[in-house]
């Protein structure tokens, strides 16, 4: 310690060091109390049987409190790399929240239209008009026969997520 | 210890211990206000009283409200509205005051802009006032969530999603703010805490700062005249009350403020008893449902202008996504008023009617804010979307033009 550091400065610096460590530690604690609780993170895996889906009519299931759109495509609908293919059937599986600000778009005239700010998504869940910055998100899922398990990351999901 | 003699009265007893006489002089009887003001100078006291109404009615609501997704809706719409004696009164007082407080804030702000009361030493008054506007907005939004109806839920959804636009950390930040992947129980309880404790505490602190910031530069007047407050105060204290340009805050100025307050109370309670429904959106009388978005959602009237700036940009420009453009414009709209003292380049304090170009600027701003507010409530389709786009562009353009407009006025007057 150099001579020009006085005793009172030393006391001040020591207190600043203690306060900085304590302050940083409490910020970590405060940040983490606002994180989702373990029970929320663990909240479930949802199984959906796709065999009963009607072509051309989307259905909505709930997963982690969010709506999931499931649409069995008709032959007239465009094919997309985002389709889940099981046998000869093609499905759109997407989180039903507009990627703009999270409203639920409604199925109308062969597309999903968002009432909040006018965004539109086609039958593959790709944004075609308005403010949404990207297609509808695809939830993680795995495939077991004609049943999909939402929440698990299967190979089909990883392939679709890249498309 | 200081020397204490026996007090001859209760007043003297307190004065010995708390210097109450000195305190009253500093805060009240020798705090000087110019004579040359009008009823618009009463809005500060009107706002302070409205905040008081919000606190008191809020205390009564808090005793029956339950911040839990399963209980919140009924605790408001059944318990408070139907079971608690006069519960309806406190809810309507709280809801209407929350709406009216923004009307008065806007009048207060626009008065400040018109008379140039934000510069030449008054910058901190303006900045602390803008901080109050921001904290009141946060309090308004967090309170709107509490009844847990459909509008509460979807407003919370849209507003928390706005943070998703922040680069890199956006998505994680949204989950952190909500405490869940969706707007859920954790979200409701933490916004309840913010609404009933943290935000009111911050507001009280900023109100103290706002009042204190008036102390050195003093209140502006109708002509922007620079008054020597010490000289004028001496005249008043010497008995030349007619000649002096100032009056004491108490009892002279406040007596007139109370007259304005009386008129405000009649207007406010008229709304509370006969027109409360304007602050009670019918869609919010449906319980929150995370699986159904109402066909048309919109914020309360006082957020409509900035909401319209947010959604005014509905197509991509120069490779920038419409979503990001809207978010940037919204961000600018919410902070640009903070910068007003620094982008006004006119060195003199004068009312708008003595600054011809600024006067035009001011009234265009007024009209634009009204257009944005009206179209913010309409569905964003067809021609409405274009009106929204051009009025948003006008809003941003006005603030780019302001330095040039104010400089031109100052040059024409020979002040620059």
pLDDT, tens only, A25-55: 999 999 999 999 988 887 767 888 888 888 8
Pick among 3.40.50.1820, 2.40.50.140, 2.102.10.10, 1.10.150.120: CATH of A42-162: 2.102.10.10
- Rounded CA-CA distance B184/B153 in Å is 9
Q: What are phi and psi of A148, to 5 degrees?
A: -110, 145
Q: How far is B304 from chain A (nearest CA, A)?
A: 14
Q: What is the per-residue pLDDT for B1?
A: 65
Q: Across the A/B interface, how many CB contacts are shorter than 8 Å?
A: 85
The minimal CB distance from B179 to the residues A36, A62, A131 is found for: A36
Q: What is the per-residue pLDDT for A14?
A: 95
Q: CB distance from A61 to chain B under 8 Å?
A: no
Partner A, chain B 13-42, Cβ-Cβ below 8 Å: none
Contacts with A32 (C-beta within 8 Å, 6 or more apart), sequence order:
none
- For chain B, the structural domain boundaries read 41-221+262-297, 304-416
The minimal CB distance from B186 to the residues A37, A64, A106 is found for: A37
Q: What is the per-residue pLDDT for A101?
A: 81
Q: List helix spans (H) across B63-198.
A: 72-74, 87-114, 123-145, 150-162, 170-178, 185-193
Q: What is the per-residue pLDDT for B399?
A: 97
Q: Which residues of A touch B292 (CB under 8 A)?
A: 104
Cβ contact A163:A84 at 8 Å:
no
Contact B181 A64 (CB under 8 A): yes
Q: Which residue of A has its CA nearest to B159?
A: A101
Percent of chain A at pLDDT > 90 equals 23
Check pLDDT > 70 for residue A1.
Answer: no
- Rounded CA-CA distance A69/B147 in Å is 29
Q: What is the token pair recorded at A87?
A: 């046998």
Contact B161 A130 (CB under 8 A): no
pTM for this entry = 0.90
Q: What is the mean pLDDT of residues A123-127?
A: 89
Neighbours of B277 (CB within 10 A): 12
Q: What is the pLDDT of residues B124-145, one digit of tens each?
A: 999 999 999 999 999 999 999 9
Q: What is the per-residue pLDDT for B319?
A: 75
Contact A60 B291 (CB under 8 A): yes
Q: Identify the three-state secondary structure at position A120.
A: strand
Q: What is the token pair recorded at B111?
A: 């008065």
Q: List helix spans (H) across B275-382.
A: 304-312, 322-335, 340-343, 356-377
Cβ contact A73:A123 at 8 Å:
yes
- Rounded CA-CA distance B349/B121 in Å is 10
What is the residue-level pLDDT of chain B in tens, covering all 416 positions? 678 899 999 999 999 999 999 999 999 999 999 999 999 999 999 999 999 999 999 999 999 999 999 999 999 999 999 999 999 999 999 999 999 999 999 999 999 999 999 999 999 999 999 999 999 999 999 999 999 999 999 999 989 988 988 889 988 999 999 999 889 999 999 999 999 999 999 999 999 999 999 999 999 999 999 999 999 999 999 999 999 999 999 999 999 999 999 999 999 999 999 999 999 999 999 999 988 888 788 899 999 999 999 888 877 787 777 778 888 999 999 899 999 999 999 999 999 999 999 999 999 999 999 999 999 998 877 789 899 999 999 999 999 999 999 999 999 999 87
- Rounded CA-CA distance B247/B236 in Å is 7
Nearest C-alpha neighbor of B340 from the set B130, B89, B177: B130
Cβ contact B308:A124 at 8 Å:
no
Domain B41-221+262-297: CATH class, spelled out: mainly alpha
Q: Which residues of A touch B190 (CB under 8 A)?
A: 34
Q: What is the token pair recorded at B145?
A: 């969530």
Q: CB distance from B198 to chain A under 8 Å?
A: no
Q: What is the per-residue pLDDT for B186?
A: 95
Contact B158 A31 (CB under 8 A): no
- Rounded CA-CA distance A80/A103 in Å is 24
How far is residue B315 from each of residues B298, B327, B389, measured CA to CA in Å? 20, 13, 10
Q: CB distance from A163 to chain B under 8 Å?
A: no
Q: What is the token pair recorded at B2?
A: 């200081």
Q: Identify the three-state secondary structure at position B251.
A: helix
How far is residue B188 from each of residues A67, B143, B196, B201, measured CA to CA in Å? 20, 10, 12, 19
pLDDT band at residue A143 under the 50/70/90 scheme: confident
Q: How far is CA B131 from the centre of its chain?
A: 9
Neighbours of B391 (CB within 10 A): 23
Class of residue B181 by CB neighbours under 10 A (exposed 0-12, middle 13-18, buried 19+): middle
Neighbours of B174 (CB within 10 A): 19
Torsion of Cα atoms, A84 then A90 then A93 then A96, to 10°: 150
Q: Identify the three-state secondary structure at position A81.
A: coil
Given the cut 0.85, state whether the ipTM is greater than it. Answer: no
b/e code B50-78 from CB counts within 10 Å (16+ = b):
bbebbeebbebbeebbbbebeebbebbbe
Q: How far is B315 from chain A (nearest CA, A)?
A: 6
């Amino acid at each position: 310690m150099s001579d020009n550091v006085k005793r009172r400065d030393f006391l001040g610096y020591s207190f600043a060091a203690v306060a900085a460590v304590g302050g940083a530690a409490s910020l970590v604690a405060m940040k983490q109390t606002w994180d989702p609780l373990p029970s929320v993170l663990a909240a479930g895996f949802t199984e959906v049987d796709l065999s009963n889906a009607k072509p051309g009519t989307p259905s909505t299931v709930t997963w982690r409190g969010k709506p999931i759109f499931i649409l069995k495509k008709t032959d007239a609908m465009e094919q997309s790399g985002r389709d889940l293919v099981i046998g000869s059937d093609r499905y759109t599986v997407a989180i039903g929240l507009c990627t703009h600000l999270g409203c639920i778009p409604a199925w109308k005239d062969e597309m999903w239209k968002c009432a909040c700010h006018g965004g539109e998504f086609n039958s593959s869940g790709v944004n075609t008009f308005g403010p949404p910055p990207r297609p509808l998100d695809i939830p993680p899922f795995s495939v077991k026969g004609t049943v999909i398990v939402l929440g698990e990351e299967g190979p089909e999901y990883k392939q679709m997520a890249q498309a | 210890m200081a020397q204490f003699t026996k007090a001859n009265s209760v007043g003297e007893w307190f004065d010995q211990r708390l210097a109450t006489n000195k305190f009253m002089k500093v805060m009240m009887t020798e705090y000087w206000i110019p004579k040359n003001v009008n009823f618009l100078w009463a809005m500060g006291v009107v706002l302070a009283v409205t905040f008081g109404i919000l606190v008191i009615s809020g205390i009564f609501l808090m005793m029956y409200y339950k911040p839990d997704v399963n209980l919140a809706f009924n605790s408001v719409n059944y318990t408070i509205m139907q079971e608690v004696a006069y519960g309806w009164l406190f809810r309507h007082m709280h809801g209407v005051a929350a709406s009216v407080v923004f009307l008065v804030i806007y009048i207060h702000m626009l008065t400040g802009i018109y008379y140039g009361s934000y510069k030449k030493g008054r910058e901190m008054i303006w900045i602390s006032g803008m901080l109050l506007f921001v904290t009141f907005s946060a309090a308004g939004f967090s309170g709107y969530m509490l009844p847990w109806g459909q509008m509460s839920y979807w407003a919370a959804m849209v507003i928390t999603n706005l943070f998703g636009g922040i680069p890199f950390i956006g998505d994680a930040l949204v989950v952190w703010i909500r405490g869940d992947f969706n707007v859920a129980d954790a979200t409701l309880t933490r916004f309840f805490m913010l609404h009933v404790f943290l935000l009111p505490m911050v507001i009280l602190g900023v109100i103290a700062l706002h009042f204190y910031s008036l102390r050195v530069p003093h209140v502006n007047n109708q002509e922007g005249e620079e008054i020597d407050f010490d000289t004028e105060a001496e005249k008043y204290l010497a008995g030349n009350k007619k000649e002096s340009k100032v009056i004491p805050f108490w009892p002279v100025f406040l007596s007139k403020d109370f007259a304005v307050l009386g008129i405000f109370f009649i207007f406010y309670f008229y709304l509370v008893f006969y027109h409360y429904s304007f602050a009670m959106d019918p869609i919010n009388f449906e319980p929150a449902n995370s699986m159904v978005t109402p066909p048309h959602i919109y914020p309360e009237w006082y957020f409509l202008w900035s909401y319209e700036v947010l959604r005014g940009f509905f197509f991509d420009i120069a490779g920038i996504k419409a979503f990001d453009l809207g978010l940037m414009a919204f961000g600018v709209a919410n902070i640009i008023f903070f910068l007003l003292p620094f982008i006004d380049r006119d060195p003199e304090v004068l009312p708008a009617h003595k600054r011809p170009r600024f006067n035009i600027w001011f009234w265009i701003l007024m009209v634009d804010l009204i257009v944005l507010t009206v179209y913010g409530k309409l569905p964003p389709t067809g021609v409405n979307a274009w009106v929204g786009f051009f009025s948003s562009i006008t809003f941003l353009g006005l603030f780019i033009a302001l330095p040039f407009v104010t400089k031109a006025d100052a040059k024409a007057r020979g002040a620059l």
